[in-house]
Structure 1
């Protein structure tokens, strides 16, 4: 035992310290992590998406006019045919418009007809102007003959001539006004007739009909409620055909195309996997969720489906047989794994949730080490 007062100077103490440091260094430099050899397996790469089942041709039923919901012809779950009556709406404004349009049409017809008071007055003015012109013409030509015989004054001759010319211009103006008014009244009559026809068409819009053959999945209003053109009255879709709506992250959307195989799991069928394929990719991104909407259909539909059934989808991007893979947990970063000789850069290929394909950089005999956290 060391009996020195300064234990730090004791050779035994120094030796123990040096031994401990070497042990720590050796332990830190050693490769004591888990070791595995690359595997050769069949690998499939897929894109994950949330899934929602919806009827094909699903649409919201809207009222064509604002008003009061008078009668509901259907209930949720009913099957309807194209053209079936769904709702009836009461709206007094179009009815009043139709009555007013009819009155305007009758007035326009009266103004344009053979007994038109407007044209009748102008014709009376024309008859009076024609009589005045005849009288002024007689006076003018009589005075003209006298003036040619040097009888009468030049002032009287000019006065008769001016009266004759003014009468002629007045007649011409009234005849022109008659033709213009007759054309204007004809246009007003046609406009009033078109307006009346239009209001009759609007009056028929009080009945809301189904656009498709399908099932009523929702009825959103009750009789007596106020309805507007912006609020949906109901939702109708196909009774037999269903779509799968999938939301795909924007980083994965470029990997997708129509026809790709998809595996669907639904919460309502927890122990089953259904095959489907992509039928449509919507090009506009949802800025809120940063996702794209993709549609698919079941290759073989489940026995029972309801709108809104939720689940998950795995869209197959690529598959490869006998691929050389390593577990994802053994990667130091996206391109390096650890071997006995140190970090090695690799080229990767397909990958799934567990494994990454190694294209270059490793062989099946290269042992790799799991990095320590």
Structure 2
């Protein structure tokens, strides 16, 4: 009884699946193919992906300092050459800073030259300066320590001698004046000698008092000034190594400040770093800009070298290699295709929704003026090509979820039987059959799939 029921079921399925026994392909009521023949042909195994065209080189050019925009020389879509000026800031203050830095550098050069020339002073000049310094030091020390006791005693004795000379002159005067034989002129001479003796005594007294009193404050100050002058003169003739090194470092510092001023002036001008096309201008004349405009003051791209990045899962990425040719189609240009190749494959995966994917960069081989950055593109990469292999449509293949085995419904005469097959390479629409089918076999597509509770294994 069971065998009879199964036969009725198979007949019913066959009736639904086959509209014309002699035809190679049966049609469903909706006009879709329901039965196809297994054939031999060429199988192209491809990996596909999509993305947007991007310029290989794109830079956001921005001023590195604040200022007022003085000139904007380009607009969106302009083609520019490397080194071409794109925009400028007001540079009047920067030019003054540069001139000031040049002046400071020249001053530093002169100071270093003076220090080096002084270091090469003649020995005779150095000896004279050293002697003058020693003399000034000795004079100051002598004033600070006071007179020598022997000099003071000599001064005292000179004072005593001078007083004795007064007494002797007075005695001679009195004797001459008291003699009736003395002439008036003799008396006058003796009186003059007394006055002279008194003057000499006063000079000796003052010298003695001076030695006893020591140096006056103004004398000490003058001696100190003379010493300082001698020290400065020697220092100018004999600078130490630190002085020369300090002036050398000051010269280097002035040179760096000049270079910084020159760089600031250069940075007030935006220059194209390569040949390209202006794709955005975010500044205007008179605008005050800071150091780094968000998105760039001017955006420049090299549109002659376009690429796109694909996201490929880990199953397919192992089939890809750098340099593989690819075919690129664009949504904006239906019916046209462009050639390219794989430029790079990411060495590490990116987690996307729990699945491991890899970034694959594809570069266009030829530059067509019609291509623009941002266009949506689809990529087909042929990873394998098999000639003269047995092919079955993917729509006819069913897999067991638990075991992973593959099956098809083969139509034989007025019967439909489920047959297990072994697949090889798989393409987008067809797969290679290694075992289970022969060329010319007819297989049913999904429209005639029987209920899974009545699966039939023929030939088992």
TM-based fold match above 0.5: yes
The offset of 1:245, in angstroms, is 1.3
User: In the aligned structure 2, how far is the partner of 1:254 from the partner of 1:234?
Assistant: 41
Match status 1:311 vs 2:377: yes
User: In the aligned structure 2, how far is the partner of 1:335 from the partner of 1:210?
Assistant: 61
The residue number in structure 1 matching 2:425 is 349
Instruction: Give the alignment partner of residue 433 of structure 2, picking from 342, 351, 358.
Output: 358
The offset of 1:343, in angstroms, is 5.4
The residue number in structure 1 matching 2:270 is 208
The offset of 1:292, in angstroms, is 1.0
SS at match of 1:346: strand
Q: Taking structure 1 as reference, are residues 222 and 179 closer, same or farther at Cα in structure 2, changes over 3 Å only?
A: same
SS at match of 2:53: strand
Question: Over the residues paired in the alignment, what is the CA RMSD in angstroms?
Answer: 4.5
Instruction: Give the alignment partner of residue 181 of structure 1, picking from 243, 258, 267.
Output: 243
Report 1:141-220 matches (<5 A).
178-220=240-282
Report 1:68-79 matches (<5 A).
68-79=68-79
Greater helix content: 2
User: In the aligned structure 1, how far is the partner of 2:255 from the partner of 2:51?
Assistant: 54
User: In the aligned structure 1, how far is the partner of 2:345 from the partner of 2:408?
Assistant: 42
The residue number in structure 2 matching 1:336 is 406
Q: Contact between 1:80 and 1:210, CA under 8 Å: does it hold in 2?
A: yes
Instruction: Give the alignment partner of residue 248 of structure 1, picking from 292, 298, 311.
Output: 311
The offset of 1:276, in angstroms, is 0.4
- Mark the structure with the bigger radius of gyration: 2
- Give the TM-score, by structure 2 length: 0.55
Q: Contact between 2:66 and 2:288, CA under 8 Å: does it hold in 1?
A: no
Q: Which moved more, 1:216-225 or 1:310-319?
A: 216-225
SS at match of 2:373: coil
The offset of 1:72, in angstroms, is 0.7
The residue number in structure 1 matching 2:149 is none
The residue number in structure 2 matching 1:156 is none
User: In the aligned structure 1, how far is the partner of 2:129 from the partner of 2:388?
Assistant: 110
Match status 1:280 vs 2:343: yes
Q: Contact between 1:40 and 1:322, CA under 8 Å: does it hold in 2?
A: yes
Q: Contact between 1:53 and 1:242, CA under 8 Å: does it hold in 2?
A: no
The offset of 1:83, in angstroms, is 1.5
The offset of 1:204, in angstroms, is 1.9
The residue number in structure 1 matching 2:178 is none
The offset of 1:346, in angstroms, is 1.0
User: In the aligned structure 2, how far is the partner of 1:94 from the partner of 1:285?
Assistant: 48
Match status 1:48 vs 2:110: no
Q: Which moved more, 1:330-339 or 1:106-115?
A: 106-115
C-alpha deviations, 1:227-284, integer Å up to 9, x for none?
4336422233346x342414132423332234433222222222x1313021512536
The residue number in structure 2 matching 1:264 is 328
C-alpha deviations, 1:73-96, integer Å up to 9, x for none?
011122222221101124788567
Unpaired runs of 5+ residues, structure 1, are 1-18, 138-169
SS at match of 1:324: strand
User: In the aligned structure 1, how far is the partner of 2:349 from the partner of 2:87?
Assistant: 34
The offset of 1:26, in angstroms, is 7.6
The residue number in structure 2 matching 1:325 is 391
Q: Taking structure 1 as reference, are residues 103 and 325 closer, same or farther at Cα in structure 2, changes over 3 Å only?
A: same
Q: Contact between 2:346 and 2:358, CA under 8 Å: does it hold in 1?
A: no
Q: Contact between 2:341 and 2:365, CA under 8 Å: does it hold in 1?
A: no
Q: Contact between 2:126 and 2:238, CA under 8 Å: does it hold in 1?
A: no
Match status 1:67 vs 2:67: yes
User: In the aligned structure 2, how far is the partner of 1:345 from the partner of 1:366?
Assistant: 13
Q: Which moved more, 1:97-106 or 1:301-310?
A: 97-106
C-alpha deviations, 1:289-323, integer Å up to 9, x for none?
64414122255x65623222222121222222222
User: In the aligned structure 1, how far is the partner of 2:276 from the partner of 2:327?
Assistant: 27
C-alpha deviations, 1:88-137, integer Å up to 9, x for none?
12478856764664565355345434289x99xxxx99977654557999
Q: Contact between 1:98 and 1:199, CA under 8 Å: does it hold in 2?
A: yes
The residue number in structure 1 matching 2:283 is 221
User: In the aligned structure 2, how far is the partner of 1:324 from the partner of 1:198?
Assistant: 74
The offset of 1:338, in angstroms, is 4.0
